[in-house]
Amino acid sequence: MGNPDQTEKLLLNFNDEFADVFSAFVFKDKLKLDPDRLQEAATEYHHLENGKPKELRRDVVKLYDGLSLGILVLGFENQSDIDPLMPIRIMGYNWTRYRYQASNAVKSPPLIPLSPIFSHVINFSYTHQWAWPLSLKNIVSVPPALEEFFQDYKITVTNVAWLSQEDRAMLSGDFRILADTLCAIRETGKIPADTRIIRHVDELLATLAAVTHRNYCIDINTDHDEGEKQMTMNDVLTKWEQTLRAEGFKNGKKEGFENGKIDLLSRLARIWENQRMTPFFILCKSFA
């Protein structure tokens, strides 16, 4: 399935999903992003470190034309494994973007303000919540007497599989289906039935496969026909059941055939051992 982080970003690359999730979990619906105002932005940043070129690569980054709010830089970082140094990683990502803006800004008065950057971490794991530091202060050993002078840096994280029903209700796209599914898997171990239409079938199921490590999620559904009706999770579950049943029947036949061959050889060996001197026609009769 490749790199899970790379697979998990597929769904959020769509402007409708990106806008839906960012509006709900970062801006708490105080700013409802318009998908049509989102533009692709570079996810790779290059800079010199000790005279050598270095590269930082983000998961999903987009520019948003906020009209009266100006241009906003929005980014998601997708995680299935916990990174205790995530505050420092986010600092690095944001620093390179600010540095890129600064290198292209007019430095003579009047100065043009840089665009603000908003970064958010999505934890896709359904086995563990984000229990590591959410700020630089929790990583650095700051003497208590100097805490008020320390320049802290905080991050925000969404634990998808632990979202409340109210929080999930703020979503309206495929990410809502993904969140409901991961919550159900965490609570019951099962994928729930669902009649909502999936807009991005391959990307949703690829993400689900990367998170749950269930390879058949992709194998069964990436080959759906262009003219096929729109799919729901109920359709997906039906296809999984049909495919697993077919695979079980196929494997059962193969196993039965192999076991039959072994049993035949064992019976022949026993008969030959017990009736080593018996004429051939009697041997055949006893076997039959």
Helix, strand, coil % in the chain, rounded to nearest 5: 50, 15, 35
Q: Which residues of the chain register pLDDT less than 50?
A: 1-2, 216, 218-222, 227, 277-288
Q: What end-to-end distance do the CA atoms of the chain give, in Å?
A: 51
Which residues, other chains included, contact 170 with Cβ-Cβ below 8 Å and sequence gap of 6+?
Answer: 23, 24, 25, 29
In sequence order, the 6+-apart residues with CB closer than 8 A to the CB of 90 are: 77, 119, 121, 153, 155
Least Cα distance to 79 among 38, 128, 37, 45 occurs for 128
CA–centroid distance for 213 within its chain: 10
Q: Where in the chain are the domains? A: 4-227, 232-288
**What pLDDT sits at residue 236?**
84
What pLDDT does 220 receive? 45
Residue 7 pLDDT: 78
Query: Nearest Cα to 170, choosing from 7, 9, 30, 11?
Result: 30
pLDDT of 285: 44
pLDDT (0 to 100) of residue 85 = 93
Q: What is the pLDDT of residue 218?
A: 43
Token pair in block for residue 250: 């196929």
Q: Are 54 and 47 in contact (CB under 8 A)?
A: yes
